[in-house]
Amino acid sequence: MTKRIVINPVTRISGFMEIDATIDNNAVTDVKTEGLLFRGFEKMLEGRNPFDAVYFTQRICGICSTAHSVAATMALESAMGIVPGEQGRYLRDILHGCEFLQNHIRHFYQYTIPDFVRLPDKYPLYVTEHNDFRLPEGKNENIVKNYFLSLDISRSAHEMLAVLGGKAPHNHGVFIGGITTQATTDKIIKIKSILLSIRQFIENRMIPDAYTIAGYYKDYFKNGRGYGNLLSYGCFNKYTELGTLYVDPLVYTQGNISVFNPDEITQEIDYSWYKSQTNEYKPTGATAEADMDKSKAYSWVKAPRYRGIPYEVGPLARQWLSGEYRNGISTMDRTIARVLEARKIAEVMGILIENLIPGVSVQKQYTIPDASEGAGLIDTTRGALGHWLKIENGNISRYQLITPSGWNLSARGNNNLRGTAEQALMNTKITDFDNPVELGRIIRSFDPCVSCATHVYSMGKCVKTIQVMP
Amino acid sequence: MNKTKPCPEYTARLETARELLNRVREEINKGKLIRQNLVWLELTGCSGNIISLLNGSNPDFKYLISQMTNFMYDNSLMAAEGEKAMEQLMGIYGKEYILAVEGAVATKNNGMYNIIGRWKGKPVTALNVIKMFGEKASHVIALGACASHGGVSAAKPNPSDSVGVQSILKRKVIKLPGCPCHPDWFMGTLAHILLYGEPELDNKDRPVLFYSTLIHDRCPRRSYFDKGIFAQKLGEKTCMFKLGCRGPVTYIDCPIRKWNQYVNWPIEDDTPCIGCAQFGFPDKMEPFITYNTTREVKE
């Protein structure tokens, strides 16, 4: 018997998406992931002042806005031939680290926990009908307490960001050279104090909570694997004096780790609603135009590929590539890698803060070149993020973005290979057709951000209507 | 119940939202106030306003969902998903509720640029849902720049033909522009509605409680402006008017409220205000940063 399961909205992600799965003999035999939100940032950026990209691109996503300010700044620095000093990098990376912590804490508690832990259903927000809750009452209650406690902790991660970044989300601090302001002693102490309480929360509650859940949902170590190819652009790495504190740009393919080469990135559009001179193009070339008449296309998300192959990006990829965590590649491994990474990021931030020199100003008077090109490639919370920009007559003439959720949620590529998350959903066993909790749990383990993935310009098209059918 | 209006400086103080909330708490305890249903819709935007709401403190998010309102629906935080989530939303239709909206409304291609769910097999667009829930709500609160006037979602050339909520609805929409909306602006407005009804609004339907005074008029660097001492680059402590500061045209209380547990705000971070709380953001507020201008103030 063939069934079709459509989940829309996939809640507890950023943005809007639909999962459309075909089920035979209780297992997924075909699946599509579709992003359902379009604004068109790449087109909007054309003609604007290059400096504005730092602030403008943050509005792509309210949960990972700092990530975009960092990538946009790096793209500008590359176009302007500016190498930020070490103090500037430390400061910027501390801000970036604050966002990692805010994201990981919110994703684990606010987005993941409701899948595995029964929340108080006296609050309408937490009402759910599925019954696959396996934790004994005491353990469940304990994690519910931490769910509410985490609201204060994730909030304090944004407070820490605002100390040096003005406000969050959509900070004002990250800019060419590092950040706009100086770290004074009182600010350094304030950040240290907040960081300490966050570290204690991660160590004493978040990591134990993740392992508690893992203990009762062991089957989730066996699903959601995908291709098993991992990629990182690197982050918190190659400091002049401190070396690499986390992960270098690396890829993991068929069991082998090799050095990442940015020239090997392409975007494929065979199954996406776009046309260009070729169905495969580079992020430094012309952007593709919308073409909704392609019969086999089914998604607005393009297919970023490295040497023609889909890759998984994010915390598990980084933990694996840096050698911090190598248990496996699965739904639950992704969740554990995320909480372990939170601890790692807090540790790295501690080192960076220790190396700050108070009162150093890293700002200069900058001049925009008449014509130039640049790229900013950096790993952010959800994975590898790239901004590519071209400047002509002092303004932005082309802007291209490839986001982490572009990598993870991509459509099929030209060689018919499914996207990373699509592949992870394949062969999943569905226990209860009325409550197919497995699909949402697998998708959320990638921490998808559809606001980011479907930022690109595209013409609209009526989405087909599909119902669950026998 | 004290309905006299204190002076704007006083009402705009940091404690405003908190004091209103304390009154809400008292009234609830006395059994005088009934918790109302609250529906939070995320439309064409970045979900930055729900994230900002989670940053609220005294009152915080837990207080909002447990004491103040029956928080019925939010895409980012609710436990239900798919059809079950849509059932939860549609179940409120016909009942009394306050509607909070973040994000613009994409109108291109009959709204198909932003589908927020699927109901009985059919896609539900942002355009559908705002028409359906907007007209029937007791109050509509537009949070953030996108919901208030289109914001970044409607930035030129506006590929999705996004518009603010008011363009779709033929009714009063309370607007809380800002990118994102400060949690206090929303919590204070909501508390006012629960206690006294709609707060006093200016001619653009913004609560005067928060939007009555120019940033420029309360800027701690105002004396530098008056003396003509201007910063030449970011990071300097003098007036950033010539670097592009939009404080002189932006009505909001950032200088006294500040952000994220009230620790900081853009100007204290040595960057110009980019006018995110002003109508017309971003296009009319650009360039955000500039190093080569002798500019004049234009309202």
B4, exposed or middle or buried, with CB in 10 Å at 0-12, 13-18, 19+?
A: exposed
* Subunit contact B260:A39, Cβ cutoff 8 A: no
Picking from B144, B172, B207, the residue at the C-terminal end of a domain is: B207
Residue-level pLDDT at B292: 73
What pLDDT digit, counting tens, does each position of A408-440 carry?
999 999 989 999 999 999 999 999 988 999 999
Identify which has the larger pLDDT, A295 or B130. Answer: B130
Label residue B9 by pLDDT band (50, 70, 90): low
Q: How many whole angstroms separate alpha carbon B253 and alpha carbon A189?
A: 27
CB contact under 8 A, A37 and B268: no
The mean pLDDT of A66-72, rounded to a whole number, is 98
Sign of the dihedral defined by the CA atoms of residues A394, B46, B181, A107, in that order: negative
- The total number of structural domains that make up chain B: 2
Is B67 a residue whose pLDDT tops 70?
Answer: yes
At residue A459, the pLDDT reads: 33
Residues on chain B touching A172 (C-beta within 8 angstroms): 266, 269, 271, 274
Name the minimum distance, in Å, from the CA of A277 to any CA of chain B: 22
Would the CB atoms of A119 and B155 count as touching at under 8 Å? no
- Candidate from B81, B112, B120 with C-beta closest to A460: B112
Domain A2-457 has CATH 3.40.50.450: no
- Report the residue from B52, B120, B266 with minimal CB separation from A172: B266
Contact call for A461 and B109, based on CB within 8 A: yes
Q: How confident is the model at residue B184 (pLDDT cuts 50, 70, 90)?
A: very high
Burial of A54 (0-12, 13-18, 19+ CB in 10 A): buried
Closest chain B C-alpha to A91 CA, distance in angstroms: 13
A304: nearest Cα among A262, A334, A362, A353: A262
The answer as to whether B293 is a domain residue is: no
Strands (E) located in A84-192: 174-175, 178-179
Domain end position, chosen among B148, B172, B207: B207
Which residue, among B7, B53, B1, has the nearest Cα to B23 in the 3D structure? B1
In a domain, residue B203? The reply is yes
Tell me what pLDDT residue A195 has: 98
> What residues of chain B, 152 to 181, have a C-beta less than 8 Å from chain A?
152-153, 155-160, 162, 179-180
Q: Is residue B15 part of a domain?
A: yes
Cis before A369 (ω within 30) = no
> What is the C-alpha separation between A363 and A179, in angstroms, rounded?
8
| B153 assigned to some structural domain | yes
- CATH number of the domain bearing residue B247: 4.10.480.10
Look at residue B7 and tell me whether its pLDDT is greater than 70. Answer: no
Q: Do B269 and A165 touch (CB under 8 A)?
A: yes
Cβ separation A457–B159 shorter than 8 A: yes
State whether B13 and B159 are in the same domain. Answer: yes
- Judge if B164 and B256 occupy the same domain: no
Q: Which residues of B are annotated as a binding site for [4Fe-4S] cluster?
A: 46, 146, 179, 216, 219, 239, 245
Q: Is residue B292 part of a domain?
A: no
Nearest residue of chain A to residue B80 (CA atoms): A128
- Indicate the pLDDT class of residue A184, thresholds 50, 70 and 90: very high
Chain A residues lying within 8 Å of B106, measured CB to CB: 38-39
Task: State how far residue A253 is from chain B, nearest Cα, in angstroms.
Answer: 33
Residue B253: pLDDT over 80:
yes
Sheet holding B69-73, edge to edge: B69-73, B36-42, B98-102, B139-143, B174-176
Q: What is the mean pLDDT of residues A18-23?
A: 94
For residue B5, pLDDT over 90 is answered with no
B79 lies in the same domain as B162: yes
Q: How many angstroms separate the CA of residue A274 from the nearest CA in chain B?
A: 15
**A194-243 pLDDT, tens per residue?**
999 999 999 999 999 999 999 999 999 999 999 999 999 999 999 999 99
Q: Are residues B116 and B190 in the same domain?
A: yes
Which residues in A lie closer than 8 A to residue B72 (C-beta atoms)? 124-125
Residue A294's pLDDT band (boundaries 50, 70, 90)? confident
| Residues above pLDDT 70, as percent of chain B | 92
> Which residues of B are documented as binding site for [3Fe-4S] cluster?
254, 273, 276
Report DSSP letters for chain B, one per residue: ---PPPPHHHHTSTTHHHHHHHHHHHHHHTT--PPEEEEEEE-BS-SHHHHHHHT-TTTTHHHIIIIIEEEEE-TTT-S--HHHHHHHHHTTTTS--EEEEESBEE-GGGGTTBEEEEETTEEEEHHHHHHHHHTTSSEEEEEHHHHHH-GGGG-TT-TT-EE-GGGT-SS--EEE-SSS--HHHHHHHHHHHHHHSSPPB-TTS-BHHHHSSBHHHH-TTHHHHHHT-B-SSTT-SSB-GGGT--GGG-B--HHHH-BTTTTB-TTTTTS----TTSTTTTGGG--SS-SS-------
Contact B137/A at CB under 8 A: no
Cα distance between residue B248 and residue B230, in whole Å: 14
- Do B265 and B129 share a structural domain? no
pLDDT confidence of residue A291: 66
For helices A137-165 and A185-201, give the axis angle rounded to 10 degrees. 160
Q: What is this model's ipTM?
A: 0.94
Q: Are residues B130 and B234 in the same domain?
A: no
Q: How much is the average pLDDT of A294-310?
A: 88
Confidence of residue A465 (pLDDT cuts 50, 70, 90): very low
In the listed set B180, B207, B234, which residue is the last one of a domain according to the structure? B207
Beta strands B174-176 and B139-143 are: parallel
Q: What average pLDDT does the structure give for chain A?
A: 93
The closest alpha carbon to A12, from A353, A396, A446, A457, belongs to A446
**Alpha carbons B234 and B238: distance in angstroms, whole number:** 10
- Dihedral sign computed on CA atoms, order A258, A264, A266, A268: negative
Q: Do the bridges between strand B115-119 and strand B36-42 make them parallel or antiparallel, or are there none, so unpaired?
A: unpaired
The binding site of A for Ni(2+) comprises 61, 64, 449
Same domain, B132 and B154: yes
Q: Do B266 and A451 touch (CB under 8 A)?
A: no
Same domain as B155, residue B17: yes
CB contact under 8 A, A465 and B121: yes
Q: What is the CATH number of the domain that holds B175?
A: 3.40.50.700
* Phi/psi at A327 (5° precision): -70, -40
Looking at chain A, the whole-number percentage of residues with pLDDT higher than 90 is 84
Write down the pLDDT at residue B296: 53
Residue of A nearest to B44 (CA): A37
Q: How far is CA A36 from CA A193, B45, B125, in A?
A: 41, 12, 9
Residue B23 pLDDT class (50, 70, 90 cuts): confident
pLDDT tens by residue, A238-267: 999 999 999 999 999 989 999 999 999 999
Question: Chain A: residue nearest B111 by CA?
Answer: A460
Q: Is the predicted pLDDT of residue A455 greater than 70, yes or no? A: no
In the numeric block, the tokens 């940033």 are attached to B215
Q: Are residues B45 and B133 in the same domain?
A: yes
**Does pLDDT of A317 surpass 70?**
yes
Q: How far, CA to CA in Å, does A417 sit from each of A219, A269, B4, B113?
A: 26, 12, 67, 26
| Residue B19 pLDDT level (bands cut at 50, 70, 90) | confident
Contact A292, A273 (CB under 8 A): yes
Please give the residue range of the domain that contains residue B232: 215-285
The predicted pLDDT at position A372 comes to 98
- The shortest CB-CB distance from A40 to any of B80, B122, B159 is to B159
Contact B287 A125 (CB under 8 A): no
Question: Does a structural domain hold residue B1?
Answer: no
Across the interface, of B75, B79, B236, the residue whose CB is closest to A127 is B79
pLDDT, residue A287, reads 76
Q: What is the pLDDT of residue A461?
A: 34
Average pLDDT, chain B: 91
Q: Which of A171, A249, A235, A259 is nearest to A380 (CA)?
A: A235
Confidence class for position B14, pLDDT limits 50, 70, 90? low
List the one residue out of A95, A60, A379 whose CA is nearest residue A230.
A379
Q: Taking a contact as any Cβ pair under 8 Å apart, which residues of chain B between 250 and 279 contact chain A?
A: 259-261, 263-266, 268-271, 274, 276
What is the pLDDT at residue A276? 79
Burial bucket for residue A286 (CB in 10 Å: 0-12, 13-18, 19+) = exposed
Residue B290: inside a domain: no
pLDDT score, position B15: 63
Instruction: Let me know if residue B280 belongs to a domain.
Output: yes
Clarify whether residues B29 and B153 are in a common domain.
yes
C-beta atoms of A173 and B271 within 8 A: yes
Q: A110 — alpha (psi -120 to 50), left (phi > 0) or beta? A: alpha
Taking an 8 Å cut-off on Cβ atoms, the answer to whether A161 and B260 are in contact is yes
When pLDDT is averaged across residues B63-90 and rounded to a whole number, the result is 95
User: Based on the domain organization, do B161 and B220 belong to the same domain?
Assistant: no
Looking at residue B28, its amino acid is I
* Shortest alpha-carbon distance between residue A238 and chain B (Å): 26
